[in-house]
A and B are shown apart, each in its own frame.
Chain A
Amino acid sequence: DAKTTQPDSMESTEGETVHLPCSHATISGNEYIYWYRQVPLQGPEYVTHGLQQNTTNSMAFLAIASDRKSSTLILPHVSLRDAAVYHCILRVAHNNNAPRFGAGTKLSVKP
């Protein structure tokens, strides 16, 4: 699976809309973009995923660049509960390798 690059940390304030970037310049055509988040003392939690089209669910909006070399996880109106480490990973649909996580982006949310 190709590698992703994310900022180490980002800060925000409650109520703001947060854009978390992820760069995956060497992504191949059959790789899906997955986002997980992890809060202290818990395992990672699935947020969303996409292949080419933007996707949205109750947690977030995933915007994927037209060339697929980058993506942005958009969190509308963040609350203190959204403070977490957000991981962007790539996975091939029929790959035999288990998902591999990097360090992710630590999102801080101020009241």
Chain B
Amino acid sequence: ETAVFQTPNYHVTQVGNEVSFNCKQTLGHDTMYWYKQDSKKLLKIMFSYNNKQLIVNETVPRRFSPQSSDKAHLNLRIKSVEPEDSAVYLCASSPHWGGRAEQFFGPGTRLTVL
């Protein structure tokens, strides 16, 4: 099956803990993204990678760090979670970088910080 896969589906943790989310795409795409979707359902881009290279790094707190081992994988680590980090984190990929590239999204990882 070719798609974008994310693990875990849900994660509940306490303030100050470290969490890691995994994303893998089997579509053969060059570009991957991490988005944060808040309670109002707005999607905000966090990071974009093209062929394992960081292309876009929006203004996100330093505790967030993306990790790419190859162009099919883009993980997200949060060093010390805060309550405002509670959200859905969506991973996406596209065939290549650039405005005409259609994006394919994973189902998301729902993070709750207590």
| Chain A residues engaging chain B, CB cutoff 8 angstroms | 1, 31-32, 34, 36, 38, 41-46, 49, 85, 91-104
- How many residues of B sit at the interface, in one of the four size bands? 20 to 34
Q: Are A101 and B42 in contact (CB under 8 A)?
A: yes
Judge whether B48 is part of the interface by a CB distance below 8 angstroms.
yes
Given the interface contacts A49-B102, A96-B55, A98-B56, does A103 sit within 8 Å of B40 by beta carbon? yes
Q: Are A43 and B48 in contact (CB under 8 A)?
A: no
Distance of A103 from chain B, by nearest CB (Å): 6
Q: Are A104 and B41 in contact (CB under 8 A)?
A: yes
Given the interface contacts A98-B56, A104-B41, does A43 sit within 8 Å of B99 by beta carbon? no
Within 8 A of A (CB), among B62-114: 90-92, 97-100, 102-108
Q: Which residues of B contact A1 (CB under 8 A)?
A: 99
Q: List 19 A-B contacts (CB under 8 A).
A: A1-B99, A31-B99, A42-B107, A43-B90, A43-B106, A43-B107, A44-B90, A44-B92, A44-B103, A44-B105, A46-B103, A49-B102, A95-B98, A96-B56, A98-B33, A98-B45, A101-B35, A102-B42, A103-B42
Report the bound CA distance from A102 to B103 in whole Å. Answer: 16
Q: Which residues of B contact A102 (CB under 8 A)?
A: 42
Distance of B112 from chain A, by nearest CB (Å): 14
- For the complex of A and B, the 3 pairs showing the least CB-CB separation, nearest first, are A43-B105, A91-B99, A101-B43
